[in-house]
Amino acid sequence: MSQKTEIDLIVSASWVIPVVPRNCVLENYSVAIDQERIVAIEPSGELHKSYQPKQHLNLEGHAIIPGLINAHGHAAMSLMRGYADDKPLMEWLEQHIWPAEQKWVSEQFIIDGVQLAMAEMIATGTTCFSDMYFYPEHTAAEANKAGMRAQVNFPVLDFPTMWASGPDEYISKGLQLAEDYACEPRINIGFGPHAPYTVADEPLQKIAEFAKAKQAPVQIHLHETAYEVSAAIESTGRRPSQRLHDLGVLSERTQCVHMTQVDDEDIVLLQQSGAHVVHCPESNLKLASGLCPTEKLIQAGINVCLGTDGAASNNDLDLFAEMRSAALIGKITANDAAAIDAMTALEMATINGAKAMAIDTLVGSIEVNKQADLVAIDLSGIEHQPMYAPISQLVYTQVGHKVSHVWVNGELLFKNGQHQTLDIESLRIKAIEWQQKLKAR
């Protein structure tokens, strides 16, 4: 009898949904994990013949999926959840959000807000998030401390803010941050030019050059509203996407957020450049920004992933909810009930996000040798019966609150509904304190 290999953990579940290959549902399977990586995926009765785990977790009635990837947000804005609801975009920004940020955003605001956001994201199955906000050094530090995976995009704008005086300082501080985290495998630093209408040609060209040299991601709000596009055409004679293309900003490293206003010329530019689209369905709905034509983009071979945007315009960070909204909106915009099916929506929240961030060799699916970023969802409740199609249940029913376990790099961040790396009671107190400050205005 051959000797068994000692490993850290075996997780057994009623269903393992690896995402790659697509539409695959493995019934009564187990995932073996050792030293942060997935080492085997086999029927539950088979793994114990080859492996001796230090721990075996049997999650009957659960589904195991890859960790969800929130490809766009402003984590610290969780402290502004519900602060200024039901306002048009520019009124919301100019009269409410920007004045509040000017008054209240500080290093401590970022620390507390990011922790609050991570608590919500972890509890609803997100293991990796992309962020674009002020004091990115604190976002990176808090994500690293909590054990999450993150792409932290440092902001770049033409005008001064509490973090920097102008484009040169934004970029200089951001490049230093990238150096500081060069050896942290879970944290990647990217460029975050806010939008074409807030960043001039010269800094955008610099960003394009630096990003190419350093193979760094670039994330930018793009074609968020019809007004943005029409105003750009009036002032420059070009659609914003064409301007970015001409400046060299669009590439396979570029993540275009929102893209609710898309024509055939935009699609050609996205195809040629290899740029990705980050769809934020619920934020776009709430701010009446428009509807991203996701089915048309996907049929054109463009990678589309999902983001929540910030909690100030959503108001939650639950990617399961975004999956459902993305699927339903995708059908109505395509006028086709078969468009953006459940599997496609799940891909948008997992492997497609990993592709956009260029980490798909590490995460985004459950495959041998990939990092063990996993989520367990309890589907044993009566509201999930009968179980014809687990993937459909994950997308079309409300399951974010059913997450029971979350692992990143094989480290358990959420166990039986309890956080393992965040102090929730302390966060609750801090959130109330910030509410009282902002409410007083």
- Predicted local distance difference test score (pLDDT) of residue 279: 98
Q: Give the integer Cα–Cα distance in Å for 151 and 39.
A: 26
Report the alpha-carbon angle 149-153-157, nearest 5.
165
The better pLDDT of the pair 91, 259 is held by 259
Residue 60's CATH number: 2.30.40.10
User: Quick check: is 426 in a domain?
Assistant: no
pLDDT band at 375 (very low <50, low <70, confident <90, very high): very high
302 and 385 share one domain: no
Read off the pLDDT of residues 329-363 as tens digits, 9 standing for 90 and up: 999 999 999 999 999 999 999 999 999 999 999 99
**pLDDT score at 441:** 63
CA distance 110 to 27: 42
Residues 93 and 222 in one domain: yes
Q: Is residue 284 a part of any domain in this protein? A: yes
Please give the single-letter amino acid code of residue 424: I
Residue 183: Cβ-neighbour burial (10 angstroms; 0-12, 13-18, 19+) = exposed
Q: In this structure, is residue 414 part of a structural domain? A: no
d(CA 182, CA 188): 8
Q: Is residue 440 very low, low, confident or very high in pLDDT (cuts 50, 70, 90)?
A: confident
116: domain range?
68-356
**405 and 279 housed in the same domain:** no
Please give the average per-residue pLDDT across 390-407, as a whole number: 97
Domain check: are 72 and 163 in the same one?
yes
pLDDT digits (tens, 9 = 90+) for 60-93: 999 999 999 999 999 999 999 999 999 888 888 8
Closest CA to 89 of 296, 288, 323, 309: 288
Residue 160: cis peptide before it, omega within 30 degrees of 0: no
Residue of 213, 263, 222, 212 whose CA lies nearest to 244: 222
72 shares a domain with 19: no
394 & 348 share domain:
no
Within a domain: residue 435? no
242 and 278 belong to one structural domain: yes
Q: What is the total count of domains within the chain?
A: 2
Q: What confidence tens digit (pLDDT) does each residue in 94-132 have?
A: 999 989 999 999 999 999 999 999 999 999 999 999 999
Pairing of strands 304-306, 51-66: unpaired
Q: Verify that 173 and 61 share a domain, yes or no.
A: no
Per-residue tokens: 129: 């998030």
Q: Are residues 62 and 72 in the same domain?
A: no
298, exposed or middle or buried, with CB in 10 Å at 0-12, 13-18, 19+?
A: buried
Report the CATH number that the domain containing residue 181 is assigned in CATH. 3.20.20.140
* 376 and 401 both lie in a single domain: yes
Claim to verify: residue 38 and residue 153 sit in the same structural domain: no
Residue 190 lies in a domain: yes
Query: CA 39, 42, 44: angle at the middle one, nearest 5?
Result: 120
CB count in 10 Å sphere of residue 269: 18
Nearest CA to 93 among 84, 104, 106? 84
On whether the CB atoms of residues 324 and 396 are closer than 8 A, the answer is: yes
The verdict on residue 393 lying in a domain is: yes
Is 423 inside any structural domain? no
Pair (32, 108) in one structural domain:
no
Q: For residue 441, count other CB atoms closer than 10 A to its CB.
A: 10
Q: How confident is the model over 211-240, as pLDDT tens digits?
A: 999 999 999 999 999 999 999 999 999 999
Residues listed for the chain: 441
pLDDT value at 418 more than 80: yes
- 215 within some domain: yes
pTM here is 0.98
